[in-house]
Amino acid sequence: MNLSSPEIQTRYLLLVAGLGGLLYGIDVGIIAGALPYLEASAVQLWKLSSQQLGFVVAAVLLGSVLSSLTAGALAEAWGRKKVMFVSGLLFSVSIPIIALADGYMPLLLGRLLQGVSGGLIGVVVPLYLAESLPAAVRGRGTAIFQLLLTIGLVLAAAIGLLVAHQVEQAAHEAPAALQAVQDAAWRRIFWLSLAPGLLFTAGVLWLAESPRWLLARGRSEDALLALRRTRYAVEADAELTSIQGKQEERAASEGSRLLQRRYVLPFLLACLILACNQATGINSVLAYAVTILDQGGLSGSMGNVGDFALKLVNALMTVVAVVLVDRKGRKFLLMLGSGGIIVSLFAAALLFRGAESGQSDVGGALSQRISDNALMLDAPTLRTLAGSDDYQLDIAYSYGPLTQVRSLRPGDMLHIAPPDSVEGDSVIGAAFRSMHLNPFPDMHAALQAPLQIERAHIGTRPQAVHGWLVLACLLGFIASFAVGPGVCVWLALSELMPTRIRSNGMSIALLVNQFVSTVLAAVFLPVVSLHGYAPMFFFWAGCTVVYFLAATFLLPETRGKTLEEINRHFAYK
């Protein structure tokens, strides 16, 4: 076997780039399985609020936003290969910071580093694939990135499911040690995700640099060698000539022409596609899958089983997308996928609306029972309040800026007491707040604040069959997303951007993508705690309608075209 043949080199390139997708998937998915146990440690040991937990979940996305601001510039200055190496290194460093965390700030820092790594990967790996792969396999090759991303989600879910069974077993054998077991569980989940980061970081060292980046730096001989690693000599020579001709054409049109439609239209279209991609709610569903299914009626390890099923379907349907993307085209798959998402989200919203409409508002009754700025209700009292032996109380309460959300079942006791300490502020945060620049409130104000019942609804807990129906809707959502937007979004990001602005344009477009995703993830818990799950799903469905219209009427087909041919489409449009 000739290890230097174009076929072998192409497979190695796809393997390493796919590992980048694996890390991106772990970034997004690992928190779903860890969150129930992390929440137990955060609330019981560290006294964190629901907002702070939301920030921990959204920190990966916020880190992606921050790194997206500079990813394009770094890729231009350092090269695609070096930035991929740095992203893998940051991920590998973030794991011990998170797994060894003993409070809010190191946990948030580790998750931010994971996000920075993910943001760099999200820009640079698709950029590298688009610039390095032959046009005939570019769609399938970029889809491999998404396939490994979904496998990362499956891996994260499998780890969460395994640990969930271990925690349930420990809860039966030694209930007194449950808190310690839960604290160890989420740490173990993060430790198990370290190996892919190390493999990706090491694998990047043997990749060739992007030929288009090398040629832009005047290194034509190195660019030709890079092209010949994944193409035969005749094909590499012809493509090098084509790229050089396009660069000479661009050089002749330098100056004020950046505002031409050949640059503006594809840039705006890519930004719209990426914003709509996140407005489907995909990252929130993946991050809060166990919580959503638990609220729908699948409790305990069944929620983790459902989470695993979602991630597995995501991976299987991505395989289907890999097969179809260079046969049916990007436009067809985006229309098919976004249409399926709309149907699935509306169905889930209607299921939650039906369940939530049967709940009673007991916020006023609970407020009247507040005594000494605290509220305590035993299980029999809650049963009497519900008027049923099978009930669920969803309550959101606050002490000033410290908001907590809880869901109680039969046998649980409601015990709300003023906090005696808080964590989460920092010297930097206090300094910015003194200049009125910090948007986050001073959590220490909670120590003197009165107890407020923000929302309290009680009703019959949804049956397991309701939970399975919710899971069916989510499976339809995930399958539709995987076969269309999941794969095509990376192609839209890398293919639509003209060569002259590709790295920086991709960086800005991914910034829009991650900003929308961060906002949705950060507001998910506060919104569902105050308004229920149905409005959130209706909102996502409405955003996906915009996505379907954009894919139908605005997106051109790029299947089988070189990057230079796609550029010319917008030049003469």
Phi, psi at 329, each rounded to 5°: 100, 160
pLDDT at 423: 54
Residue in 553, 10, 11, 35 with CA at minimum distance from that of residue 307: 35
* Residue 412 CB-density burial (10 A; 0-12 exposed, 13-18 middle, 19+ buried): middle
The three-class DSSP label of residue 402 is strand
| Overall size of the chain counted in residues | 573
Question: For the chain, which domains are there?
Answer: 6-207+253-353+466-571 (1.20.1250.20)
- CA torsion, ordered 19, 517, 73, 63, to nearest 10 deg: -80
Q: State the Cα–Cα distance between residues 84 and 88, nearest whole angstrom.
A: 6
Block residue for tokens 């001709």: 245
Phi, psi at 137, each rounded to 5°: -120, 10
Residue in 188, 138, 151 with CA at minimum distance from that of residue 166: 188
- Residue 231 has what DSSP assignment? S
pLDDT at 195: 85
Block residue for tokens 């919104």: 527
pLDDT at 543: 92
pLDDT at 217: 86
pLDDT at 474: 96
Q: State the Cα–Cα distance between residues 20 and 278, nearest whole angstrom.
A: 20
For the chain, how big is the Rg over CA atoms in Å?
25
pLDDT at 221: 87
C-beta separation of 541 from 346 below 8 A: yes
- Residue 407 has what DSSP assignment? E
pLDDT at 437: 46
The pLDDT averaged over each successive group of 10 residues in the chain (573 residues) is 70 82 76 70 63 71 76 86 93 90 83 86 82 74 75 76 75 70 80 86 89 86 85 82 65 50 75 86 83 81 82 85 77 90 96 84 86 87 79 82 76 82 51 48 76 84 87 95 83 67 71 77 77 90 92 74 61 55
pLDDT at 258: 46
pTM: 0.68
pLDDT at 337: 92
Q: What is the DSSP string of 68-110?
A: HHHHHHHHHHH-HHHHHHHHHHHHHHHHHHHHT--SHHHHHHH
Q: State the Cα–Cα distance between residues 38 and 53, nearest whole angstrom.
A: 9
